[in-house]
Amino acid sequence: MAVNVTRKGTVLVVDDNRQVLTTVKMLLEDYFEKVVCVANPVEIPEKLRTEKPHAVLLDMNFTSAINNGNEGLYWLGQIKRLSPGTGVVLFTAYAEIELAVRGLKEGASDFIVKPFDNGKMVAAMTEVRDRVIGSGNPGGEGALAGPSQSRVIWGSSAAMRELKALADKVASTDANILITGENGTGKEVLANYIHAESSRRKAPMIPIDLGAIPETLFESELFGYMKGAFTDAKADKPGLFELAQGGTLFLDEIGNISYSEQAKLLTAIQRRSVLRVGGAKSIPIDVRLICASNRDIQKMVRDGEFREDLLYRINTINLHIPPLRERREDIPALAENSLKIYSRLYGKRVNSFTSEAMLALQSASWPGNVRELDHSVERSVILCDNETLGIGDVSLPEETPGLPEPKTLEEMESMAISKAIKDFGGNLSAVAAHLGISRQTLYNKIKKYGL
């Protein structure tokens, strides 16, 4: 029996499981005037432009064996950038509260866990649709973009003005770029900015945390595989190089890959083609590489840990983001931007800092850099009951007396990880979330530093 409801609005469903697409389409077509389904997230920008959906149901994981939600969060950011007023509901089989909170913070309207309840699915999608239709413009300014995908807040420091000038100069070229800087400085945000300012902006920017890929899956994830190449290869699958065709491939944590992985990556870059696992035909690639690392790659080359020829290939231009402690004059702009975002997100009327509170923020060390400052402002907004954040309201990083000043980035990183492990009682999932890295990357670093 047909459901007695008025069909209205358009919904875009993005999931690489064809069976899920079919099921969701059958369920939602009784409630939406149009249900558009795609299996490849690369199609999202075009569908936003042509279909103008009021709501998007977005799967969180598309790359096999990398089920940490990073792809879903990336595409959430792209949707909010390209169509800020479109409502997004995240769809995942992994019911992790940290991921749910992060997705909601970054602009998602709701979160649905697989296997889903039909009633909850319909309620979530129609509620988002009705809210967007009520706002009058699915492509307008109604939605709030979270801090991780928002525009770059350059601040007023000379270092950041110089960085912006160089980024603007190289964005329009196809030069490969290496972004360096400590954890939390905003390397992926800068990569997004460069891609958005480039001639490749209409094609996707595909991000991948290389530290999260097991070495045994490196080739199949980056270069793809053919049906039958191994036991679980049920169908041909393009790799990340192919998915980024015509656009940008962002390789984060490139300093963490092994020497043999470096050789395979170098071959693909030199030949401008990839060979799928189990394949016999090279596939031409046209991608721009933006790589990032918090490690001293030049020192790794001297120590024999990183290939010099690969460094030359990825480091046509080096953009270094200085730590926050070296550009304290940028803190007010960053803090005020986060304050605006979280006040709106949590429905608070907190609209300013007292001069004493801002001075305290500018005086703090911020070992976690911009990411830590952003989290601090978020906590402060949540706990504040006033319209102004005072000195007693701001959440500041704990100083650690008696410890020597770190002399290198690696010493600083090791100390930050040690402190986080102690603070969270050894809960590595919480530590990874706090530091803004994947659990696999955290494991690699713990092994590296002998923690």
Report the C-alpha gap between 92 and 108 in whole angstroms: 13
CATH of the domain at 442: 1.10.10
Asked whether the beta carbons of 353 and 336 are under 8 A apart, the reply is yes
**3-class state of residue 230 by DSSP:** coil
193-231 pLDDT, tens digit each: 999 899 998 887 888 888 778 888 899 989 999 988 888
> 120 and 96 share a domain?
yes
Two structure tokens written together for 349: 């009327």
**Which range (227-241, 271-285, 311-325) has the least confidence?**
227-241
334-375 pLDDT, tens digit each: 999 899 888 887 788 899 999 889 988 998 889 999 999 998
User: How many folded domains does the chain comprise?
Assistant: 4
Amino acid at 366: W
Flag whether 109 is in a domain.
yes
Report the C-alpha gap between 42 and 271 in whole angstroms: 24
> 119 and 173 share a domain?
no
Amino acid at 278: G
Residue 73 CB-half CA count within 13 A: 25
Flag whether 402 is in a domain.
no
Report the C-alpha gap between 159 and 325 in whole angstroms: 12
Nearest to 437 by CA among 357, 57, 161, 421: 421
Q: Is the pLDDT of residue 143 over 50?
A: no
Residue with the bigger pLDDT between 70 and 7: it is 7
CATH of the domain at 163: 3.40.50.300
Asked whether the beta carbons of 285 and 268 are under 8 A apart, the reply is yes
Mean pLDDT over all residues of the chain? 84
Flag whether 279 is in a domain.
yes
422-435 pLDDT, tens digit each: 676 566 777 777 88
Flag whether 400 is in a domain.
no
Cβ count within 10 A of residue 427: 13
CATH of the domain at 352: 1.10.8.60
End-to-end CA distance of the chain: 62
Two structure tokens written together for 388: 């102004």
Flag whether 3 is in a domain.
no
> 377 and 424 share a domain?
no
> 110 and 14 share a domain?
yes
Residue 402 backbone zone (phi > 0: left; psi -120 to 50: alpha; other: beta): left
> 160 and 289 share a domain?
yes
**Which range (16-25, 132-141, 308-317) has the least confidence?**
132-141
Report the C-alpha gap between 257 and 260 in whole angstroms: 8
Residues paired with 122 in a beta bridge: none
Cβ count within 10 A of residue 324: 27
Report the C-alpha gap between 94 and 99 in whole angstroms: 9
> 216 and 300 share a domain?
yes
Task: Tell me: cis bond preceding 115? Omega within 30 of 0 counts.
Answer: yes
What does the chain come to in residues? 451
Of 147, 168, 194, the one marking the end of a domain is: 147
Quote the DSSP letter at residue 29: T
87-109 pLDDT, tens digit each: 999 887 654 555 666 777 778 88
Exposed / middle / buried, residue 317 (Cβ in 10 Å: 0-12, 13-18, 19+): middle
Q: Is the pLDDT of residue 136 over 60?
A: no
Strands (E), 8-134: 10-14, 34-38, 55-59, 87-92, 110-113
Flag whether 395 is in a domain.
no
CATH of the domain at 131: 3.40.50.2300
Report the C-alpha gap between 333 and 155 in whole angstroms: 6
**How high is the pLDDT of residue 233?**
81
Report the C-alpha gap between 171 and 190 in whole angstroms: 11
Per the structure, the complete domain to which residue 425 belongs is given by 409-449
Of 271, 299, 320, the one marking the end of a domain is: 320
**How high is the pLDDT of residue 77?**
85
Flag whether 1 is in a domain.
no
> 436 and 372 share a domain?
no
Flag whether 329 is in a domain.
yes
**How high is the pLDDT of residue 140?**
36
**3-class state of residue 75 by DSSP:** helix
Report the C-alpha gap between 223 and 277 in whole angstroms: 7
> 236 and 127 share a domain?
no
Amino acid at 442: L
Query: Which whole number is the average pLDDT over 293-311?
Result: 94
**How high is the pLDDT of residue 205?**
83
> 353 and 433 share a domain?
no
> 44 and 179 share a domain?
no
> 159 and 300 share a domain?
yes
> 212 and 82 share a domain?
no
